[in-house]
């Protein structure tokens, strides 16, 4: 396919569902060609792409396990050969497993670091060249308030998401001269399957009505939404946000304003 002149090309890893899907839909509505990567839910990715096309947007889907080096290389080669590269990269794909620290396995810890941190690094490394060549680019890493404050029973996830912040800040310094911004979006617990699974796991180990009690200590008494996260990402990749780089911006409905709400499940 011949790239469309004057159209920006974006890759959203893990764009088949949840926050990634909301970001893909938001960007595609702004005349951005949206490439969606998925690991195993091809039907979800195609559903997202069909919705984009139904709204006169353009996009593509590609399977890639972001924890797998060879998959990332195949994905990057496919994008370069077919579209010449990308202008916008949203490193959204990630995994998180709840576990007490003394019970977490070595394999589980490594899997979360490999997917959330190393995978995002390698995708960026292989696809940043087109941005450097054009002297324009936007990179967003999806971290978490768990990566800023930590979160009980999410040790590996928090470590990986904290690593993304260090990666983004350092890369932002290096890429500023190329007019490439690099920022971090740090959602709190969001109304997604991943967020729900955390509260379900807490209930399974003895907490009662953990989600209800968690909401009670958030100033807004609610979780932030996928759409609110997508709106922030949409702004960060726009021309209007050219002066914003190396920043970590939370979308948590005020959770991080409440002492203890993101540090410990203390209810």
Domains contained in the chain, number:
1
> Per-residue pLDDT tens for 157-191?
999 999 999 999 999 999 999 999 999 999 987 77
- Inform me whether the pLDDT recorded for 97 exceeds 90: no
* C-alpha span between 32 and 35 (Å, rounded): 9
**Residue of 44, 59, 139, 136 whose CA lies nearest to 92:** 139
| 244 class by beta-carbon count within 10 Å (0-12 exposed, 13-18 middle, 19+ buried) | middle
Tally of helices (H runs) and strands (E runs) in the chain: 11, 7
d(CA 177, CA 235): 21
Alpha carbon distance 261, 264 (integer Å): 6
**Quick check: 263 pLDDT over 50?**
no
With respect to residue 252, please indicate whether it lies within any of the assigned structural domains: yes
The residue whose two tokens read 């990567």 is: 37
Contact between 9 and 87 under an 8 Å Cβ cutoff? The reply is: yes
Cβ atoms of 62 and 78 within 8 Å: the answer is: yes
- Give residue 127's pLDDT: 98
Beta strand segments in 26-136, E:
32-38, 59-63, 88-91
Q: Is residue 13 part of a domain?
A: yes
User: For the domain that residue 78 is a member of, what is the CATH number?
Assistant: 3.40.50.720
Among 141, 131, 31, 11, which Cα is nearest to 82's?
A: 11
- Confidence class of residue 255 from pLDDT cuts 50, 70 and 90? confident
For residue 15, being part of any structural domain is answered with yes
Q: What is the predicted pLDDT for the residue at 267? A: 41
Residue that has been written with the tokens 């190396």 in this structure = 246
Q: What is the pLDDT of residue 3?
A: 62
171 or 99: which carries more pLDDT confidence? 171
Over the stretch 123-154, which tens digit does the pLDDT of each residue have?
Answer: 999 999 999 999 999 999 999 998 998 888 89
The C-alpha angle with vertex 151 and arms to 147 and 157, in degrees rounded to 5, equals 55
Residue 122 has pLDDT above 80, yes or no: yes
pLDDT interval class at 1 (50, 70, 90):
low
34 domain-assigned: yes
Average pLDDT over residues 95-123: 94
Q: Predicted confidence band at 74 (pLDDT cuts at 50, 70, 90)?
A: very high
Question: What pLDDT shows up at residue 205?
Answer: 75
pLDDT in tens, 182-213: 999 999 877 766 666 767 767 777 776 677 77
Q: Is residue 94 part of a domain?
A: yes
Q: Check pLDDT > 80 for residue 47.
A: yes
Residue range of the domain that includes 48? 8-257
Query: Does residue 266 form part of some domain?
Result: no
pLDDT at 266: 47
Find the mean pLDDT for residues 94-107.
91
Mean pLDDT of the chain: 90
Rounded Cα–Cα distance for residues 37 and 147 (Å) = 24
Residue 163, domain member (yes or no):
yes
> Which residues are annotated as catalytic?
157
Nearest Cα to Cα of residue 109 among 93, 96, 119: 96
Q: Residue 264 falls within a domain, yes or no?
A: no
């Amino acid at each position: 396919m011949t790239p469309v002149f004057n159209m920006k090309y974006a890759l959203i890893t893990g764009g088949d569902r949840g926050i990634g899907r909301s970001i893909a839909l938001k960007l595609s509505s702004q005349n951005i060609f949206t490439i969606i990567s998925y690991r195993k839910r091809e039907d979800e990715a195609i559903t997202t792409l069909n919705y984009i096309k139904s709204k006169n947007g353009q996009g593509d889907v590609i399977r890639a396990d972001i924890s797998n080096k060879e998959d990332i290389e195949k994905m990057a080669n496919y994008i370069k050969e077919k579209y010449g590269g990308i202008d916008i990269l949203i490193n959204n794909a990630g995994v998180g497993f709840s576990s007490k620290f003394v019970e977490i396995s070595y394999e589980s810890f490594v899997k979360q670091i490999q997917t959330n941190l190393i995978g995002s690094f390698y995708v960026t490394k292989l696809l940043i060249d087109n941005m450097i060549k054009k002297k324009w680019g936007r990179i967003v890493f999806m971290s978490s308030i768990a990566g800023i404050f930590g979160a009980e029973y999410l040790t590996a996830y928090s470590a990986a998401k904290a690593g993304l912040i260090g990666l983004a800040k350092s890369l932002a310094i290096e890429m500023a001269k190329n007019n490439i911004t690099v920022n971090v979006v740090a959602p709190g617990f969001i109304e997604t399957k991943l967020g729900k699974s955390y509260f379900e796991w807490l209930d399974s180990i003895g907490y009662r009505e953990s989600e209800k009690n968690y909401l009670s200590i958030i100033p807004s008494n609610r979780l932030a939404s996928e759409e609110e996260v997508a709106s922030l990402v949409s702004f960060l990749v726009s021309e209007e946000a050219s002066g914003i780089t190396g920043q970590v911006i939370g979308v948590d409905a005020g959770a991080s304003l409440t002492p203890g709400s993101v540090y410990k499940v203390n209810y």
